[in-house]
Structure 1
Amino acid sequence: KDIRVLGIDLGTTNSTVAEVTLTPNTPPKCRTIEIDQPTREGLFTSPLISSVVAILPDKKVWIGEGAKRLRAFSQESNLQHEKNLFYETKNEMGIRKTYYRAPSHFNHSSKIAGHILAFLKESAEKSANTDYDHFIVTVPASFQLNQRRDTLLACQQAGLAIKDEDLLDEPTAALIDYIQTNGLEKVVKLGDKATCVIFDFGGGTCDVSIVEIEADKSSNNITMSQISVSRYHRLGGGDIDAAIVHEHLIPHILEANNLSPFDLTWAQKKEGSNPNS
């Protein structure tokens, strides 16, 4: 019997889902799943899902691209951060902070994550027209116990039957993908060991992990042992975007239009020029 596994990358900025089909005596078949996301312009389909949740005035909940686009027009859409608009909440997993203005089932980062996970699970099952036998959710290697606990709570809310061992460290997932894509011989020869340094540079965080990998020649199995991980760093591609905007783009715009740095307010610089808005 085939075993179908759904893997979910619950990211700070973006999330994605992939499935693997395991058939005896056959190489695993992997594919990334494209997800339909509601927007004002109609359905937007992409394997990349913005980790943004918006509660619309009619009580509908949008997750993904549509919610991300509404963030740029939050005042017009009557949306307020941490009341009915939520983003980058992964950074607040594992702490006691609550969103006191939000409805009770949206008032904590783990609950927001639960809504995102449920949306991804249901969308993947609809796309594949099947249920999955197993689920894996990735987390930063640097996530502490309380952050992992909140991730498990989010999984429970989303209806994912997941245990501690089903949380896969993101750098390890990246290494598995690299081996799956490029072949084991690119990393280690059968019968040998190798030590890998993995940089998982995401939209909101940077995770660094040192992993020892051993390839058993007799069984063709590989064993991965995590030697060390970095601290939890809130540094990601969004910070690079912001640096480009504020250190290069805005100064160029000011110079081209003969403006001084004081002619634009901080809000104008942030909301009008920031690629995340």
Structure 2
Amino acid sequence: MLYTRWHRYTQHVQQHVFLTAGRQHINGVQLYYERTGIGKHAVLLIPGALGSTLTDFGPQLKSLNKEMFTIVGFDPRGYGRSRPPERDFPPNFFERDAKDAVDLMKALGFSRFSLLGWSDGGITGLVLAARNPELIHKMVVWGSNAYVSQQDLSIYHAISDVSKWSARMRKPMEDMYGAEVFPKIWKAWVDGISQFTHRPEGSICMELLPHICCPSLIIHGEKDPMVPSFHPQYLLKHIKGSRLHVNPEGKHNLHLRFATEFNKMVEDFLDE
């Protein structure tokens, strides 16, 4: 009898620990998502520009503690496997992504969750946490900014021509979008993120930061070529009670390059 019960339990655990994938109709589009884990603490992963669960969060979906957390990754509308529609960048695209993310988690049955947001996904996370304080347990963001400076604009324009990227950097995006479509979407993103320079102080969501009340961990790679160090310092100053961890060797994709260290830090923070 004991063996039978244990066998049924392990079958139940295995069934839910293995990654499952699906699509959910949200705000007029079909959003692709992946889900793994059986923990009571739900965690949403929000990818960066043109990103997806496949390109952005492999080590997290694979290795974050699946007994402690239920982990959900999704492809924002127009990205990855959430196409159609083709991606566009209206002035409210971060707000739109934040609403999509909230409504997806509600549709999946989560009334409260934590979030991990990388790069653009971190910006979406900032908006989401500020707009929905009652929903967010904790937040981790890295490679993110609340405004676009002239220095940022120079960085974006310097990388707008993907033909100048290394083949290794292009490959994941070309595999996802195709060699002809990827440059067009990337150029549209550069134009989309650049439009914030027309706002006062280049604000993307500066005015929202004081409304974030969840415990927040900001992570920064000291060698990040995309996000100057004044951005995490600004977030630290304006998000009440937040803390900052700097990885001295980290670049923009530090969660992939230093996945074991990153995952352990995140697990410890979420479990506090």
- TM-score grouping bracket, smaller chain normalisation: under 0.3
What TM-score do the two structures reach when normalised by structure 1? Answer: 0.27
Q: Which structure: greater helix fraction?
A: 2
Higher Cα radius of gyration: 1
Q: Which structure: greater strand fraction?
A: 1
What TM-score do the two structures reach when normalised by structure 2? Answer: 0.28
- 1 or 2 for the larger relative contact order (CA 8 Å, sep ≥6)? 2
